[in-house]
Amino acid sequence: MVMKVKEFLVDFKEGELFNIDNLDLGELKEEYINLLNEFFDREVEDREIVLDDLDKDNGFLYKLMCEWYSKEFVVENDLGLCWYEYSLEDLFRDTFGISDSKFNVGFNLFEIEDINKKLYGDDY
């Protein structure tokens, strides 16, 4: 299976918009929609996602998602990955990891062990 960078950004944004009414943002809802559109509608090289995109030191998607989750609005409104101690690493494993689970919603791009090495280093 193949997934492109732009597809990931669109999917992530659409997921946030789909669940926006569950966030209890009230009058801040429109501001969050604008922030999502501004951040995730950016121009990117529309190429296939590679394992190096998940690298904790230089990965394009890793750095991009760290930037997103450190946005002032996201932090101040607790919109980060704080539910049940879910992390960016968990998100990447769930999205890109190979799984044969019937509950798999990911793209089965990379072995979980390879993802973990990119996230935690070769010693993992």
Strand (E) or helix (H) holding 76? helix 72-76
What's the total number of domains in the chain?
Answer: 1
| DSSP class per residue in 11-69 | HHHHHHHHTGGGG--GGGHHHHHHHHHHHHT------B--GGGG-TTT-HHHHHHHHHH
Domain containing 64: what range?
5-120
d(CA 37, CA 86): 24
Run means of pLDDT, 10 residues per run, the chain, 124 residues: 91 94 94 97 94 95 95 92 76 84 68 92 81
Token pair, residue 70, equals 């450190």
The pLDDT of residue 104: 58
